[in-house]
Structure 1
């Protein structure tokens, strides 16, 4: 196994373990790649392997999602759930298309910004985990449309690497009175159109710089991301039901602090 394959597997593991917990998978990926000297044209590797994590959601929730698809023609509740996901997806789709170039060219290239956002997001997560309003919505598949839209607006904050897509959506949901378990589950569902859309758009925008010789390593990262994300998705809901989100807030602060020390130390 080549060194590049091992690096691809390591980065896939980082992606899968961090995509659905509120610690910023993109931030962890970019920082890991920065410190080990890994470079991907237009960061396509980092974007493509995220699709492996999306497939983990489809794998774990296939039966439930298939039932929703079957019920849409005749069940108002199923149609409302689909509408809530599409409505929550819309703000990030608009902002992502408008700001794509700036995000990839500037924000993705600033490790110190990523570290600062990890720390700031960790502080916010600790505060919201403790002081969020009492939950009024316990079912991720029955959120009111205005709640779903608010969560989608919060998701736009994750355009800044280090913020965390799942972290932004979970914080938004908690502030809107969604229970901790339902907030994580709605974030799972919202990740599917968001990440699939980001993957397709990024692949199209960077079609001219794709390195086909790296497809083998991308495939390795993709598979490892899928397998590790399946484990996280199966584990996360029970974990946050028991422990909340504070452990992830402290993790973010610790990682961000270490990264800033390394940067200031010239690493």
Structure 2
């Protein structure tokens, strides 16, 4: 992976991590177009640069995360992340296999886009939860179960958890914000697990100075781009809803399926 390719993939991660369009799916497709080998370092890189995106959430919502004595807030996040931790641990190898499949990404991009086109009508009844403080532990846990759908590449962790939040009667904006909050423990756990697994199975990857430089650049780029993406998404969502993202996913999904069927994307 070159520095240019590193920056491109990191910009994609920062732009798409918190939008309901699947960051993993976009990185897989971008890697295919750029001809980046799906080796062990690439797989690590696409997960590890999520740390930069995590930090952007903590910085943007620093008043929510600090001081650290906000026990109710942190307990909700712990409860909500449990389903993803369990399923991720049990099915990590199968998830890694799915990460190599553009066809999986194309199919889920299309299906998820159709859902987003109708999500506002599906949950048109007035939401009853308008503040994070009013999210119960049971609601947090159920949102965490919805988030597990994102283990299928192309689904979008953000989309799955936002839909889960709205199904639990959260307002559109609160569902998006809780999705951001939940990203922190979820992505931190996924990154930590991937790093430990790499250290155990392929220690030479993290001993390579060039790889460490790429990881540093990638996290830095992802951090700054994700900060801008969060600000944009919250403002846009409040005014216009999900239809733009739904149409985007449908169009991209159809294009990808066409490229795959014609043999132009493998």
Q: Whole-Å Cα distance in 2 between the matches of residues 60 and 176 of structure 1? A: 25
Residues 191-206 of structure 1: pairs in structure 2 closer than 5 A: 191-206=183-198
RMSD: 1.4
User: In the alignment, which of 36, 39, 43 is matched to residue 37 of structure 2?
Assistant: 39
Q: Whole-Å Cα distance in 2 between the matches of residues 127 and 150 of structure 1? A: 21
User: In the alignment, which of 19, 23, 34 is matched to residue 21 of structure 2?
Assistant: 23
- 1:237 corresponds to 2:234: yes
Q: Whole-Å Cα distance in 1 between the matches of residues 178 and 71 of structure 2? A: 15
Question: Does the 8 Å contact 1:81/1:142 carry over to 2?
Answer: no
Q: Whole-Å Cα distance in 1 between the matches of residues 101 and 19 of structure 2? A: 22
Equivalence for 1:123: 114
TM-score by length of 2: 0.92
Equivalence for 1:152: 144
Q: Whole-Å Cα distance in 2 between the matches of residues 141 and 32 of structure 1? A: 39
Q: Whole-Å Cα distance in 2 between the matches of residues 129 and 46 of structure 1? A: 31
Question: Does the 8 Å contact 1:128/1:175 carry over to 2?
Answer: no
Q: C-alpha displacement at 1:250, in angstroms? A: 1.0
Equivalence for 1:219: 216
Question: Does the 8 Å contact 1:12/1:225 carry over to 2?
Answer: yes
Partner SS, residue 127 of structure 2: coil
Q: Whole-Å Cα distance in 2 between the matches of residues 17 and 145 of structure 1? A: 30
Equivalence for 1:249: 246
Partner SS, residue 91 of structure 2: helix
Equivalence for 1:182: 174
Q: Whole-Å Cα distance in 1 between the matches of residues 252 and 218 of structure 2? A: 22
Q: C-alpha displacement at 1:142, in angstroms? A: 2.9
Q: Which runs of 5+ in 2 are unaligned?
A: none
- 1:52 corresponds to 2:52: yes
Q: Whole-Å Cα distance in 1 between the matches of residues 73 and 126 of structure 2? A: 23
Runs of 4+ in 1 over 6 A off after TM superposition: none
CA 40–49 in structure 1, closer or farther in 2 if over 3 Å, else same: farther
Q: C-alpha displacement at 1:215, in angstroms? A: 2.0
Partner SS, residue 109 of structure 1: coil
- 1:258 corresponds to 2:255: yes
Equivalence for 1:66: 66
Equivalence for 1:108: 99
Question: Does the 8 Å contact 1:141/1:186 carry over to 2?
Answer: no
Q: C-alpha displacement at 1:40, in angstroms? A: 4.8
Residues 78-117 of structure 1: pairs in structure 2 closer than 5 A: 78-104=70-96, 106-117=97-108
Per-residue CA deviation, residues 78-132 of structure 1 (Å, 9 max, x unaligned), is 432222111110000000000001110x211111111100110111122222221
CA 141–54 in structure 1, closer or farther in 2 if over 3 Å, else same: farther
Equivalence for 1:228: 225
